[in-house]
Homo-oligomer: A and B are copies of this chain.
Amino acid sequence: MAVNQMELAAMTKSSSLTEKYGICKFISEDNNRRLNSIMYPKKFAADSYLFWDGDETEYLYYVLTGRVKLVKSTEEGKDMVMSILQKGDLIMEMDGFQVSLHNFSAVVIEDAEIGVIQKKDLELLLQRHGDFALEFMSWMGLMHRITQSKFRDLLMYGKPGALSSTLIRMCNSFGVACEAGIRLNIKLTNTELAEIIGATRESVNRMLSELKAEGTITVKNGQIIVQRLSNLKEKCNCPTFPVCPLEICRM
């Protein structure tokens, strides 16, 4: 089939990689319990905001269900989507634990249940439990690397490369294996895709048409199915050897 064995092996039918690579995977059972103990669940409807650009960074947000996008808007109303987060992801933006302000907004894109964490509470936990702090740093480091690799891809191979890189990452974050290939289990408009890669809706539309024509992707029920991942990898010079670590290749 279009998807090779390794690719299939990398994902299960029911769960995407993000669940495998959420922060909980970086933290011991004890510390997961501790983290849970300072978390206050709260429901957020689609289109609501967890926080706004410029708000004080008082809380952290642990995504239990649903999806959240991190958006930076310019004064002229142009938006840029920096990341899309889901179950298992922790949203935290702070240069440490002093007072600071958010540099982007967090918008719920699918009804979400969020574990809200008070900065102060986390601080106490981290200070008290050295092993937790180390695990937490581990995760912070990973998040930073994801950001770096993401933006590198967006800058280096033109818009088609940027789109391809994004689709590959989406395979890892939202992908579900199906007969035809890897289905991206998320609804995104062309406009949203454009905001992720810093291009226009029209450009994205044309690029997607081309990918369809090549047989690289297909669309069913408004969801993209990646049929030939290798085509995408070529377009963004995704290295075959040494492969870049899978936990970095995500949204």
Binding site for B on A (CB under 8 A): 26, 54, 72, 74-76, 78, 80, 82, 92-98, 100-101, 103, 123, 126-131, 133-145, 147-152, 154-156, 198, 237, 239, 242, 244-245, 247-248
Contacts and interface: CB of A to CB of B under 8 A. Distances in A.
Most chain B CB neighbours (cut-off 10 Å) among A131, A143, A148, A198:
A148
A123 B75 CA distance: 43
Contact of A156 (B80, B134, B247): B80
Contacts of A101: 242, 245
Given A95-B139, A127-B133, A140-B144, 10 more contacts: A93-B145, A95-B145, A96-B134, A96-B141, A97-B138, A103-B244, A126-B130, A126-B134, A127-B131, A155-B155
Contacts of A127: 130-131, 133-134
A22 B103 CA distance: 21
Contacts of A248: 95, 103
A95 B74 CA distance: 31
Nearest to A128: B130
Contacts of A137: 96-97, 126, 133, 136-137, 140
A127 B127 CA distance: 9
Contact of A145 (B74, B103, B126, B244): B103
Contacts of A148: 82, 103, 147
B151 A96 contact: no
12 contacts: A94-B138, A95-B248, A96-B135, A96-B138, A127-B133, A130-B133, A133-B134, A137-B137, A147-B147, A151-B151, A154-B155, A156-B198
